[in-house]
């Protein structure tokens, strides 16, 4: 899954893709580099980010979605926690909704996904972008992530979203200190086994990597990302969300071959 941030404040991109033409060109490059799907986001979800309105979010993503729908052969995902944005994005060509809140921020999101027929990614987090680190308090991080994702799955089912359209994401880097993120990666197979759903993992360039690689800026964390991606694939991840598609596609394919031969 290639990350296409159509925002002026992405934490991890060296090049701002705020211009729709630049965003479209970047998406086409990611597809050519081996991306199996493209995740378009118009609101930063980095820790400390300020929330934006649905109208502003749509003004960023809709021109890109309209331009990409007839040019990409791979599916498009919309990275949003707002039901209104999700509905409009699916109408514009997206086929997956990636909700980093796990249906916890907008009560209408589950119904929106069910009615549009989109696939749904439920990510684990706590609180908002402003408060998530204050809520990173766990006894057993993996057990608590599993139970909180189970609750998100129950909400999706109650809204009418078929289980076979749902993917789970343990939320590496979200409402988690570095030790929590590493713990989730180390025990990812437990998450997959307990929830029995395909697992998406997004470690790309995140700040928890600094615990191991030092105080490098986000665009210089791709080697660390490669290690986390390898661990995730070997532990059973089905989708890997990354910025550097060309490089990480090679990492994923090799890790998949190792897993297959095991």
Distance CA 100, CA 49 (A): 14
104: annotated active-site residue: no
| Cα atoms in the Cβ-side hemisphere of radius 13 Å centred on 156 | 28
Distance CA 251, CA 50 (A): 33
Please work out, in degrees rounded to the nearest 5, the angle formed at the alpha carbon of residue 78 by the alpha carbons of 221 and 99.
80
241: annotated active-site residue: yes
pLDDT at position 20 is 85
More confident residue, 98 or 21: 98
Q: Which of 46, 241, 253, 260 is catalytic?
A: 241
Q: Which of 187, 205, 206, 221 is catalytic?
A: 206
Distance CA 79, CA 90 (A): 11
Distance CA 207, CA 174 (A): 10
* Residue 16 pLDDT greater than 60, yes or no: no
14 pLDDT band (50/70/90 cuts)? Answer: very low
Distance CA 100, CA 51 (A): 13
pLDDT at position 10 is 58
Percent composition of the chain: helix, strand, coil (DSSP 3-state, to 5): 50, 10, 40
pLDDT at position 136 is 93
Distance CA 51, CA 57 (A): 10
* Residue 42 pLDDT greater than 80, yes or no: yes
Domain boundary assignment for the chain? 2-261
Q: Is 234 exposed, middle or buried (0-12, 13-18, 19+ CB in 10 A)?
A: middle
Fold of 2-261: TIM Barrel (3.20.20)
203 Cβ neighbours under 8 A, 6+ residues apart:
172, 173, 181, 185, 209, 225, 228, 229, 232
Distance CA 102, CA 29 (A): 29
């Amino acid at each position: 899954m290639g990350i296409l941030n159509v925002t002026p404040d992405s934490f991890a991109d060296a090049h701002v893709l705020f211009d729709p033409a630049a965003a479209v060109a970047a998406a086409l490059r990611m597809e050519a580099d081996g991306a199996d799907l493209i995740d378009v986001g118009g609101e930063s979800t980095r820790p400390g980010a300020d929330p934006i309105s649905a109208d502003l979010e749509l003004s960023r993503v809709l021109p890109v979605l309209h331009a990409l729908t007839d040019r990409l052969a791979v599916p498009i995902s919309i990275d949003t926690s707002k039901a209104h944005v999700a509905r409009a994005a699916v109408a514009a060509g997206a086929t997956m909704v990636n909700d980093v809140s796990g249906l916890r921020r907008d009560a209408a999101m589950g119904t929106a996904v069910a009615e549009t027929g989109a696939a749904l990614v439920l990510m684990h987090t706590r609180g908002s972008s402003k408060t998530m680190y204050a809520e990173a308090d766990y006894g057993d991080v993996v057990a608590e992530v599993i139970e909180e994702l189970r609750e998100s799955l129950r909400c999706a089912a109650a809204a009418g979203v078929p289980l076979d359209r749902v993917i789970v994401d343990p939320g590496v880097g979200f409402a988690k200190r570095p030790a929590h993120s590493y713990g989730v990666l180390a025990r990812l197979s437990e998450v997959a086994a307990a929830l029995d759903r395909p697992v998406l993992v997004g470690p790309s360039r995140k700040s928890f990597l600094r615990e191991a690689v030092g105080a490098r800026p986000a665009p210089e964390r791709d080697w660390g990302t490669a290690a986390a991606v390898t661990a995730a694939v070997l532990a059973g991840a089905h989708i890997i969300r990354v910025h550097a598609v060309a490089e990480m596609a090679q990492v994923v394919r090799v890790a998949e071959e190792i897993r297959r031969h095991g």
